[in-house]
Amino acid sequence: MKSPVDALRTSPATKFALALSLLLAAACSSSKKPTPVDGGGSTDAHTDTGTDAAGTKDADTTKDTGETKDSGATKDSGATKDSGATKDSGATKDAGPGCTFGQAASQATATDLNLFGTPEYFDNGQPIPAGRYRLTYVDGCMMYGPGQGWTVNAYANGSDGWWLVGATTSDKILVLPGTIGYAPDAGAFSDFASCVAASLLSPPVTFTHTGGVLGIWLQDSPYTDNTAGENDRNPSWRLDGLDCTDGGAPHADGATGQ
């Protein structure tokens, strides 16, 4: 025979109530979120993803690599500005002395023929730098005696003729270009214009100068039997340097470089 307590424990109502209590307890327990122990919950995962992955914001592939801004391929290389190919090379500015040292002509006149014996210097008598030079006939002729023809040099060896000289007339460097001969139709001419035209065909003379003044001088004796050029157009020459530039263009050797 069951005791009243045992009868209560085994009654259907008691069993039902007990089962319902267990079910409610289980339901309440399953609806609660467990507290994360290691911080690995969904909230923390989201935070880490937004800060650390930063697929677009933090990688900053374009901004940080500086491929355009920092490489300085155009701005910093200075290929045009810094190389100084035109500005700094100084090709024209530093090329050396000017090329043209002017003309020299005898100042002799019909009333002062002895001036044929006075040297006339290029560049107003200033020293000419050492280097290579070219002498070119420019104008003028003369006669070496009465009844002779218009000419520049009487003899090719310069015994009666025009010389390029240094500081003194004894410093004879070379015979100047122009017609050679003193007799009409034998190197000389009966008219002044023909003598000038023929002398202009004389090739320029090139030479190397060691430095110092350069001038022209007529070796002849006496000077008083000579005839000055028409309208005092006595023989004249131009001196040009070859180791230099005028306007960036070097002078060339030869007759075509006049």
Position 192 scores a pLDDT of 98
> What is the number of other CB atoms lying within 10 angstroms of the CB of residue 131?
15
**Domains detected in the chain:** 100-245 (2.60.120)
Q: Binning pLDDT at 50, 70 and 90, where does residue 104 land?
A: very high
Encode pLDDT of 172-190 as tens digits: 999 999 999 999 989 999 9
Of 191 and 252, the structure prediction assigns the larger pLDDT to: 191
Record the pTM.
0.60
